[in-house]
Amino acid sequence: MIIVLKPQATEESAREILAQIESVGLKPLFMPGTERIVLGALGDERVLNQLNIAAHPMVENVKPILSSYKQVSREMQSHDTQVKFGKRTIGGGSFAVIAGPCAVENPEQIMRSAALVKKYGAVGLRGGAFKPRTSPYSFQGLEEEGLKLLQQASQEFDLPCVSEIIDPAHVDMMAKYVDAFQVGARNMQNYKLLKAIGQSQKTTILKRGMSATIEELLLAAEYIYSEGNHNVIICERGIRTFERATRNTLDLNAVAFIKTRSHLPVIVDPSHGTGIRELVGTMAKAAVACGADGVIVEAHYNPQIALSDGQQSLDEAAFEKMMRELTPFIEAAGKVNA
């Protein structure tokens, strides 16, 4: 950690802080410059959190050297983690397509949608039962009843399934129905929820928050991982920027960057990432090219009657086209369909 002191800071202030650094077992460094005194602390700087050096009145700013996540980083484990998803595996040399409707709406809808995505090669089924909606007046999901329907479709078509969890109190209940939890963007920093999931062993797809930095995303993963659940899959789903022509700005830079820093699998959600049906397949191809381990997309046997997110859901023709067009890109990437 590098600590820059204010111009008016005296050597005495510096000595005071250096003593603090030493007190937690780090090696202190004194660097008097022409315009500023700079201090350093060598060693595992995560222990410096407790000192709260930034609060010192003579400290101008503090620059960490190490990233604050640890267990999910490549420095702790250089090889790629592979995560179980039902009988499948996410990560490593394969590319996984998980698909299904935004929300489970009724038996016919989930069954027909599952049949559709199975037919063209999806390896997993998605479907929300607890829907966090911006407006209290929007459809909020079928709740546990929806999970039962999802599980039936999952078993019927031999597709492991994933559904969003929004309450720490639901961990045990939901674990009975689904092969993976999804933590939605709005809950990426719901730490109570992350810890509860971390104490289970259920595979979890962790979506990036709308305005979460890559570091915050990896720290959210660290919350789950450090509680003992190593089955974490990162999901880039678009960030919020000034651009509104698309629903979100899909940050594929983040995928490429995270693959260099973390050993966890990374998938992409081009449905929320664009919000526009016509762009979903295109951005799924870009996801392959930038190194993602899979995509999770919204598909519905009849998007026109969908109760949510119909404008970004693929119908059969669009899903078939996406799967067909993905194939040469998956090959170009030297991967196989999961």
Site for a copy of itself in 92-121 (CB under 8 A): none
> Is 254 in contact with 234 (CB distance < 8 Å)?
no
Other beta carbons less than 10 A from residue 328's beta carbon = 11
Residues touching a copy of itself, count (CB under 8 A): 110
> Is 257 in contact with 74 (CB distance < 8 Å)?
no
Closest CA to 187 of 179, 175, 196: 196
Tell how far CA 33 is from the center of its chain.
42
Binding positions for a copy of itself, 276-305, rule CB under 8 A: 276, 278-279, 282-283, 285-291, 303-305
Residue 139 found at the interface with a copy of itself (CB under 8 A): yes
Minimum CB separation of residue 87 from a copy of itself in Å reads: 29
Binding positions for a copy of itself, 227-286, rule CB under 8 A: 227, 238-246, 248-254, 256-257, 260, 273-274, 276, 278-279, 282-283, 285-286
> Is 261 in contact with 289 (CB distance < 8 Å)?
no
Q: Of 159 and 165, which has the nearer Cβ to a copy of itself?
A: 165
Binding positions for a copy of itself, 142-201, rule CB under 8 A: 166-169, 186-187, 189-192
Minimum CB separation of residue 297 from a copy of itself in Å reads: 15
88-96, 108-116, 151-159, 209-217 -> range binding a copy of itself (CB under 8 A): 209-217
Closest CA to 269 of 119, 142, 99: 99
Tokens representing 11?
């050597």
Separation CA 135–CA 133 (nearest Å) = 5
Binding positions for a copy of itself, 49-88, rule CB under 8 A: 49-50, 52, 54-57, 59, 63, 65-66, 68-69, 75
Q: What is the DSSP string of 239-304?
A: B--S--SSSSB--HHHHHHHHHHB-S-EEE-HHHHH--HHHHHHHHHHHHHTT-SEEEEEB-S-GG
Residue 23 found at the interface with a copy of itself (CB under 8 A): no
Q: What is the DSSP string of 65-98?
A: SS-S--TTBTTT--SPP-EEETTEEESSSEEEEE
Q: Of 152 and 226, which has the nearer Cβ to a copy of itself?
A: 226
Minimum CB separation of residue 160 from a copy of itself in Å reads: 25
Residue from 12, 25, 33, 79 touching a copy of itself (CB under 8 A): that is 33
Residue 48 found at the interface with a copy of itself (CB under 8 A): no
Residue 42 found at the interface with a copy of itself (CB under 8 A): yes
Residue 314 found at the interface with a copy of itself (CB under 8 A): no
Minimum CB separation of residue 51 from a copy of itself in Å reads: 9
